[in-house]
Amino acid sequence: MNDLTPDRLAALKALLEARKSALLGQFAGRPANEFSRTPAVEEIETSPADSASNRTLNQLEAEADDHRLAQLAAIRHALAKFASGDYGICESCGGPIGASRLDARPEACLCIGCQTRMERSRH
């Protein structure tokens, strides 16, 4: 696994579970289907400037939802790795993910070296 102690692993898992619950709480009472998303601001007949502002606010809310869904997916993925015993192992090189990196980003699936290489290759 990693040089993580059982206590530290338990703390990281609890942190991930708490983040998962918080994200799910933000979606509570909202439609699960992305296409039935209710606009954050109703677009009624108003001035063109108001309509543009309302569309912008709705787009920002949709982007925030997409970001939350991506975070939730990463957290669920990390939690699944606890069950398989792969938590703390880099998905690219197979080496350990540093404990300080996991403390900062418990959902991390790449070690800092592989993450850096991946980000550089995007640019």
pLDDT digits (tens, 9 = 90+) for 1-29: 467 889 999 999 999 999 999 999 987 76
Contacts of 10 (CB under 8 A, 6+ apart): none
How is the chain split into domains, by residue range? 6-122
Contacts 24+ apart (CB under 8 A), 57-64: 62/37
Under 8 Å between Cβ of 88 and 107: no
pLDDT in tens, 63-84: 888 999 999 999 999 999 999 9
**Domain 6-122 CATH (choose: 1.10.10.10, 3.50.50.60, 1.20.120.910, 2.60.120.10):** 1.20.120.910
15/24 Cα distance (integer angstroms): 14
The pTM for the full model equals 0.75
